[in-house]
Amino acid sequence: MTDPLPWPAPSASGPVDAVVTVPGSKSLTNRWLVLAALAEGTSTLRRPLRSRDSERMVDALRALGVEVDDRDDQAWFVTPPVALHGDVDVDCGQAGTVMRFVPPVAALAAGPVRFDGHPTARLRPVGPVLEALRGLGADVEDGGRGTLPYTVDGRGGLRGGTVEIDASASSQFVSALLLAGARFEQGLLLRHTGASLPSLPHVEMTLQVLEQVGVRVHRPDQHSWRVEPGPVAAFDVVVEPDLSSAAPFLALAAVTGGTVTVRDWPTTTTQPGDGLRRILQGMGATTSLSPEGLLVQGAGDGRLTGVDLDLSAVGELTPVVAALATLADGPSRLRGIAHLRGHETDRLAALVTEIGRLGGRARETDDGLVVEPTGLSGALLRTYHDHRMAMFAAVVGAVVPGVEIEDVTTADKTFPDFHLAWAGAVATGRDAGDDRP
Ligand SMILES: O=C(O)C1=C[C@@H](OP(=O)(O)O)[C@@H](O)[C@H](O)C1
Ligand SMILES: C=C(OP(=O)(O)O)C(=O)O
At 246-304, the pLDDT tens digits run: 999 999 999 999 999 999 999 999 999 999 999 999 999 999 999 999 999 999 888 99
How many Cβ atoms are within 10 Å of 407's Cβ, its own excluded? 18
Mean pLDDT, rounded, for 380-387: 98
CATH topology of domain 26-227: UDP-n-acetylglucosamine1-carboxyvinyl-transferase; Chain (3.65.10)
Tell me: pLDDT of 1 over 70.
Answer: no
The reply to whether 290 sits in an annotated binding site is no
Is pTM beyond 0.80? Reply is: yes
At 99-116, the pLDDT tens digits run: 999 999 999 999 999 999
CATH topology of domain 7-24+240-427: UDP-n-acetylglucosamine1-carboxyvinyl-transferase; Chain (3.65.10)
> Which of 316, 321, 346, 413 has most ligand 1 atoms within 8 Å of its beta carbon, as the pocket-test mutant?
316
Ordered by start, the domain boundaries in the chain are 7-24+240-427, 26-227
Q: Are residues 86 and 113 in contact, defined by beta-carbon separation less than 8 angstroms?
A: yes
At 339-356, the pLDDT tens digits run: 999 999 999 999 999 999
Helix, strand, or coil (residue 285): coil
| pLDDT band at residue 2 under the 50/70/90 scheme | low
How confident is the model at residue 13, as a pLDDT? Answer: 86
Mean pLDDT, the chain, as a whole number?
96
Tell me: pLDDT of 366 over 80.
Answer: yes
316 is catalytic: yes
Q: Are residues 20 and 421 in contact, defined by beta-carbon separation less than 8 angstroms?
A: yes
Where does residue 73 rank: exposed (0-12), middle (13-18), buried (19+ CB within 10 A)?
A: exposed
The conformation of residue 123, written as its DSSP 8-state character, comes to: G
**359 vs 322, 355, 374, CA distance in Å?**
15, 7, 8
Fold match flag (7-24+240-427 vs 26-227): yes
Q: What's the rounded Cα separation, in Å, for the pair 15 and 208?
A: 38
Question: Helices in 215-289 by DSSP H: which ranges?
Answer: 243-256, 276-282
> Which of 51, 388, 410, 412 has most ligand 2 atoms within 8 Å of its beta carbon, as the pocket-test mutant?
388
How confident is the model at residue 162, as a pLDDT? Answer: 98
| Complex prediction ipTM | 0.99
